[in-house]
Amino acid sequence: MPNKTSTRAADLLICREAGKVSSNTYVDVNDEGVSTLYLHHSPIALYDGQRLRINNHGYTTHTTKERLNALPGVSIYQKNWTWYLNGEEMPVDSWVEVR
Query: Could you report the per-residue pLDDT of 14-63, keeping only the tens digit for each?
Result: 999 999 999 999 999 999 999 999 999 999 999 999 999 999 999 999 99
What is the Cα gyration radius of the chain?
A: 12
What mean pLDDT do residues 70-88 have? 96
Who has greater pLDDT, 29 or 2? Answer: 29
pLDDT at 99: 86
Q: What is the pTM of this model?
A: 0.95
The per-residue pLDDT for 97 is 97
Q: Is the pLDDT of residue 89 over 90?
A: yes
Per-residue pLDDT band for 1 (boundaries 50, 70, 90) equals confident
Q: Which residues contact 69 (CB under 8 A, 6 or more apart)?
A: 2, 6, 75, 76
Amino acid, single-letter form, for residue 35 = S
| 50 secondary structure, DSSP code | S
Average pLDDT over residues 75-94: 95
Report CA-CA distances (Å) from 2 to 33, 37, 59, 70, 76: 26, 15, 18, 6, 12
